Amino acid sequence: MRRSKRIVSLILFLMVGVVFSTLLVFDWSPLGIDKSPRLHESLRGSAASAPVHPASAEVWTQAQVKQLLNLVYLLVIIILGTPYLILLFMTNLLKRMNAVRQGIEHLQVEPTHRVHPVRGELNNIVTTINDLAGNAVFFESFTRYLLDTIYDGVLTVDTAGIVQTANSQFLTIFSTSKPEVINRDAGELFSGGVAEIISDALHHQRFHVDRTVRWKETALRVYSRRIVNNDDRILGLLFVFRDITLMMQYEETLRHQDRLAALGEMAIGVVHELKNPFTSIRGFLQLIQRSVHEDDPQYRYLGLVHDELNRIDSILNEMLDYGGSSKLSLTLHDLRTVIDQLVSQMRELYPNLTVRVNTIGSDFTLQFDSPKMRQVFLNLLTNCIEAGTSAIDIKLSETEREVVAEFKDYGEGIPEDSIEKVFTPFFSTKPEGSGFGMPVCQKIIGSHGGTIRISSVVRQGTQVEVRLPRTSGALEHS
Amino acid sequence: MSRTILVVDDEANVRLFLRELFQEDGWMVFEAGTAKEGIAEARKQCPSIVLLDLLLPDADGLALINEFKGIDKLTEVIVITAVGTVDNAVQAMKNGAYDFITKPFDIEKIQAVHRRDSILPSSAENL
């Protein structure tokens, strides 16, 4: 179409050229390029020129031939020059158009690229394209940044279930990468509760709000919705995933702490109420004991009562330790000194017991409440001994951030179903245990900002690991 | 010079036990079940020792130590408590208590204290 137009205009151009040439040849030039003497004569208007006229029509003068030749030259120039000019113009135009086309192609690959300006009117098109591209890039990148800023994982799929968008939090939650999910079938990417939610939305038009599902170790709160445009046409589906693992852990910890605090308060109340009558009972018992002679069989009974009362007393004291104030008096101590002192006491008390202390590192100084920490390690060592071990291995290690103490015995161990309960007050695996030893340890270590963990294998032994952060003191003081 | 002791404890049986024990050793024992009674009794008798329970129905024993010391500075206050925490002990000693004994107490321990304290009135007289 464009090509034929070009040909038409060329022909037109040539025709105009021919017409002009003819005009010139027959001396009707309106352009006044005719400089022949004959013309000058006619302008002068002499009468003598009149008879010359018919003769000139028949006989070509030399001047006329020359003029004709001039015109022929002109014609040739026009005929040859015009296409050349046209060609030149067209080539130039095509070149610029090609540059614009290449610019657009580049833009498609790289959205931040801009089409280079070109000469002439064509540049208006370039400017418009660049403006449009700028807007598109802005919105695309803004959307991406917006999505990546959202703390929740966001996933969008088209109506066929093909993943269109996945923000960075989504990729983090599901520990995946963009290439692994984009343009993939969302139904095939997931399993379990997440797949169910996607399938519900895709195939059954069932959408969820605040549904809690598990994905591996992560607890997720999910909601799903349709994405619709102004005309209520469905563009795709949106899924939002919120990682609530930590929140649930916090909640669980809080519940646990609340329970423990309530237990602690109750323990204190119970101990207070029991201590007074207990004091009288034991006091009067001692008074009676004094009046009974050692040979009297009742003296032995009274002794047994006394021992049993002492046992009650030690339980009451442990309850008091557990429920008592968690206020710490923190000072800088060497944890190794505390352990060394306890170990030498243990060795003295139990000569047959082997206690090995292995230290890795040199700096075990940190802020802690020395009497309370001593009680923790005493409880742990007592547990080792009561488990019937012949040896205890203590390992002390340190990093820049924490000090770790591990206690290992080779005693009877704790059954798997009991291991979780050792930190629960009143629970004991020992027939005469009060069930407060480990809870007290946990409470004290916890108030230092540390953690205590226990693992055990029946008939092989138990291992307890205490981790104390070096910063706990600083935190307490700030 | 009579050796007088004031037992301030809301538990009647604890008071009775302490009375028995101290009377046996020749002490004159006075009793009070509340802080208010205790202060009144101390003003009247000026005892050489006050055995003071920390948990009284009408006052915190820790705050009372100074009051007893104010009535007679020669009076020694010995704190007896069911809540034998380190914090309490430290606070009691800071407030001027002579000693700190946790319930339930052994006869020997109590006797050790008051026998040691029995020197007090005479040593005080020597001043």
pLDDT average, residue stretch B31-39:
93
Judge: B107–A275 Cβ closer than 8 Å, yes or no.
no
**Chain B residues in contact with A281 (beta carbon < 8 A):** 104
Closest-CA distance of chain B to residue A326, Å: 10
- DSSP label of A403: E
pLDDT of amino acid A59: 66
Say which residue, B116 or B50, is predicted with more confidence. Answer: B50
Greater model confidence, A478 or A276: A276
| pLDDT(A137) > 80 | no
Q: What is the pLDDT of residues A54-73, one digit of tens each?
A: 555 556 788 888 888 888 98
**A316 and A323 in contact (C-beta within 8 Å)?**
no
d(CA B53, CA B60): 9
The pLDDT value given to residue A398: 92
Query: Which run of H or E residues covers position A308?
Result: helix A297-323
Residue closest to B91 by CA, chosen among A176, A35, A329, A59 = A329
- Tell me the pLDDT band of A475, cut-offs 50, 70 and 90: very low
Residue of B83, B94, B108 to mutate, testing the A interface (most A Cβ within 10 Å of its Cβ): B83
| Binary contact (A276, B103; C-beta < 8 A) | yes
pLDDT value at residue A476? 42
**Is the minimum CB–CB distance between A30 and chain B shorter than 8 Å?**
no
Task: Please answer yes or no on whether B17 and A284 come within 8 Å at the CB atom.
Answer: yes
Q: Would the pLDDT of A84 be above 60?
A: yes
Provide the terminal-to-terminal Cα distance of chain B, rounded to the nearest Å.
15
Select the residue from A268, A270, A272, A276 to test the B interface by mutation, using most B Cβ atoms within 10 A: A276
Are A324 and B85 inside 8 Å of each other by CB?
yes
Q: Which residues of A touch B55 (CB under 8 A)?
A: 272
Please tell me if residue B107 touches chain A, with a CB cutoff of 8 Å: yes
Give me the pLDDT at residue A371, please.
Answer: 85
Confidence label for A474 from pLDDT (cuts 50, 70 and 90):
very low
Q: Which of B13, B55, B107 sits opposite A280 (nearest CB)?
A: B13
> CA-CA distance, B37 to A21, in Å (whole number)?
144
Contact B83 A279 (CB under 8 A): no
pLDDT, position B74: 86
Residue B81 has pLDDT above 60, yes or no: yes
- Record: contact A276-B20, CB cut-off 8 A: no
Q: What contacts B4, CB < 8 A, 6 or more positions away?
A: B27, B28, B29, B30, B45, B46, B47, B48, B49
Q: Which residues of B touch A272 (CB under 8 A)?
A: 55, 82-83
Chain B interface includes A276 (CB < 8 A): yes
Q: Do A277 and B13 touch (CB under 8 A)?
A: yes
Q: Which residue has the higher pLDDT, A240 or A42?
A: A240
Query: Considering the entire predicted model, what is its pTM?
Result: 0.49
Surface of B (5-64) touching A: CB under 8 A? 11, 13-14, 16-18, 20-21, 55
Please report the pLDDT score of residue B115 as a whole number.
67
Backbone torsion region of residue A161, taken as left when φ is above 0, otherwise alpha when ψ lies between -120 and 50, otherwise beta: left
- A-chain residues near B106 (CB < 8 A): 286
Q: What digits encode the pLDDT tens for the residues A240-251? A: 999 999 898 888
Q: Using one digit for the tens of pLDDT, what is the confidence trace for A305-329?
A: 988 888 888 888 777 777 766 677 8
pLDDT at A264 exceeding the cut of 80 = no
Query: B103 and A278: CB-CB below 8 Å?
Result: yes
